[in-house]
Chains A and B, each alone.
Chain A
Amino acid sequence: MGASSLRAILKLASGIIIPAVVVVLWQMLAMSGWINPQILPAPSQVAVKWWDYLSPTAPYTTGSYASWLVSGELPHDAFASLSRVLGGFLIGTLLALPLGLLMGTSNRLYGLFNPLVQVLRPIPPIAYIPLAILWFGLGNPPAFFLISIGAFFPVLMNTIAGVRHVDGIYLRAARNLGAGQMTLFRRVIVPAAMPYILTGMRIGIGTAFIVVIVAEMIAVNNGLGYRITEAREYLWSDKIIAGMFTIGLLGLGIDFFMTGLNNWLLKWHRGIEQN
């Protein structure tokens, strides 16, 4: 046990080496005075700013301590961005899943819808911004619209692929056991396609996270994307970097959650241990 926990500590330590070196070099560069701190602030300055950004704006008086603790600007922004990601992702996924399952199972529907899908799919969600603002104005609606488009296509394409790649042997075995169309669909096709569907959802939520930042830079006045654009107006480069760092942390958190969901739903899947 001693040896293995030592190994774990060493592994963790070796993972910290490169980031630590980068931060130290950056700090040295900033302290050398060669670079205007407004262009590249020192990491220490960014850390202080991040802490300010994270901390509550007013001192604690009364009421719930927990809600005071998250009353700072950063928790607000992070919450706003995350709820847009989740909302847009849910809309996109809930539209893409049924369509993908239908297009995957029915060759006729696939033939009907596929040309349109193929034309729309390469359009980056960001290209919809002008139209989104024209249609929905400013605020949350265009943001949700853009994010759901970002999530829609990865989930759709992977669901179609997943259903079309279901091994025929499972269908034959299930029909041999007496399965009707509904049972075949619910108990065989959907679970067999699940690895693909989850991959699509993972890509979809990643895209949603990219799109939310862009949408917030343009259409709304809170959230992490808005905050780093606002910081640029004031030339607060330390706050820009603090915001970017937060975006990185949230993305990591989302990916961690998706990996957990993936491993739990696919615990039957061969090779899941390697992930």
Chain B
Amino acid sequence: MAFIHIENVDKRFPVPGGEVLALKNINLDIAEGEFVCLLGPSGCGKSTLLNAIAGFSPPTDGSIAINGNANATRFPGPDRGMVFQEYALFPWMTVAQNVGFGLEIKRLSKAAISAKVDMLLRKFNLYEFRERFPKDLSGGMCQRVAIARVLALDSPVMLMDEPFGALDALTRRTLQDELLRIWDEFRKTIIFVTHSIEESIYLADRVAVMTYRPGAIKRELRIALPRPRDTASAEFNALKKDIAKLVMEEQMRYTETEIKGYGSD
């Protein structure tokens, strides 16, 4: 069985006067160490699926097993570290305290915590900022701290919910490259939610394109291009064109529904 095995997952949310089917019959297998992107327009349920894997909002039907254990995803836990688009750093903690917080919860010794925190902060060139508070950092630096905070946990799985969505294009590319380096070094299994086609092709081993409501897997595409990938190459752009066609079909359905005035998310 695959490292992460998602089987027949449905997710329904109650809404006034009924319920909405957010995820429909999701089946997805992810190998250990694989980098998978969930790609789709707003409202396709990609974040819903990620939240289900994270244990924040378990599926209504079906199961999500990690290493064959379907109970693993019932609750949130440090085995599935999450990076949020809004960074979600604790503003009352310094950079070092943020990165060390998960280790503090694990009751590691002070020395062990600070050794690990220092190592990670140096890796991200954040060591000089360890006593600063998040309010003093730029968006890119905040997201580096958030990634370091998850790496500190040593979790095998890293869940990323549009982590670079709020960053400018140059910072975004820098962080994408850093993430690939980190992934290469720590061999995490990464599930990465994005609505950027280029980002998904640049990063992933495999892209799962999702349909607009109800969210289902429309197509899985293996990205066989060698890394580092050249976004200007012919192969890259051929893939981009193919995937754009798939995504735009769903985007059209999204736009139509929004214009008709049905609920948005």
* B interface residues, how many (CB within 8 angstroms): 27
Q: Using Cβ atoms and an 8 Å threshold, which residues of chain B touch A177?
A: 78, 81, 101-102, 105, 149, 153
- Name the residue on A nearest B75 (C-beta): A175
Q: B58-102 vs A: 1/0 string, CB under 8 Å?
A: 000000000000000001111011101010111111100000011
* Given A192-B92, A269-B91, also A176-B77 (CB < 8 A): yes
Q: Using Cβ atoms and an 8 Å threshold, which residues of chain A touch B90?
A: 170, 173-174, 187-188, 191-192
Please, how many angstroms separate the alpha-carbon atoms of A179 and B89 in the complex?
Answer: 14
Q: Does B253 reach chain A (CB closer than 8 Å)?
A: no
Q: Using Cβ atoms and an 8 Å threshold, which residues of chain B touch A173?
A: 82, 84, 88-90
The answer on a CB contact under 8 Å between A176 and B91 is: no
What is the interface of chain B mostly: helix, strand, loop, or mixed? loop
Please, how many angstroms separate the alpha-carbon atoms of A180 and B75 in the complex?
Answer: 11
The answer on a CB contact under 8 Å between B105 and A183 is: yes
* Given A173-B82, A176-B82, A177-B78, also A187-B101 (CB < 8 A): yes
Give A268 Cβ to nearest chain B Cβ, in Å.
4
Q: Does A3 reach chain B (CB closer than 8 Å)?
A: no
Q: Does B173 reach chain A (CB closer than 8 Å)?
A: no
Q: Does A178 reach chain B (CB closer than 8 Å)?
A: yes
Q: Does A11 reach chain B (CB closer than 8 Å)?
A: no
Q: Does B186 reach chain A (CB closer than 8 Å)?
A: no
* Given A169-B86, A192-B92, also A268-B133 (CB < 8 A): yes
Please, how many angstroms separate the alpha-carbon atoms of A96 and B134 in the complex?
Answer: 31
Among candidates B88, B105, B135, residue contacting A268 with C-beta atoms closer than 8 Å: B135
Please, how many angstroms separate the alpha-carbon atoms of A210 and B67 in the complex?
Answer: 65
Please, how many angstroms separate the alpha-carbon atoms of A121 and B223 in the complex?
Answer: 64
Please, how many angstroms separate the alpha-carbon atoms of A270 and B102 in the complex?
Answer: 24
The answer on a CB contact under 8 Å between A169 and B84 is: yes
The answer on a CB contact under 8 Å between B82 and A268 is: no
Q: Which chain B residues in 31-72 approach chain A with CB under 8 Å?
A: 54, 56
The answer on a CB contact under 8 Å between A178 and B105 is: yes
The answer on a CB contact under 8 Å between B77 and A172 is: no
Q: Does B106 reach chain A (CB closer than 8 Å)?
A: yes
Q: Which chain A residues in 75-100 approach chain B with CB under 8 Å?
A: none
Q: Does A194 reach chain B (CB closer than 8 Å)?
A: yes
The answer on a CB contact under 8 Å between B80 and A176 is: yes
- Name the residue on A nearest B81 (C-beta): A176
- Name the residue on B nearest A180 (C-beta): B105
Q: Does A108 reach chain B (CB closer than 8 Å)?
A: no
* Given A178-B102, A268-B133, also A172-B88 (CB < 8 A): yes
Please, how many angstroms separate the alpha-carbon atoms of A179 and B107 in the complex?
Answer: 11
Across the A-B interface, give the 7 residue pairs with the lowest CB-CB distance, nearest first.
A173-B88, A178-B78, A177-B102, A191-B92, A268-B133, A175-B76, A270-B135
- 13 additional A-B pairs beyond A170-B88, A173-B84, A187-B90, beta carbons within 8 Å, are A170-B90, A172-B56, A176-B54, A176-B80, A176-B82, A177-B105, A178-B106, A180-B105, A183-B105, A187-B101, A191-B92, A192-B90, A268-B92
CB<8 Å pairs between A and B, sample of 16 = A169-B84, A169-B86, A169-B88, A173-B90, A174-B101, A175-B56, A176-B78, A176-B80, A177-B81, A178-B153, A187-B90, A188-B90, A191-B92, A194-B92, A268-B94, A269-B91
B residues sitting closer than 8 Å to A (CB atoms) are: 54, 56, 75-78, 80-82, 84, 86, 88-94, 101-102, 105-106, 133-135, 149, 153
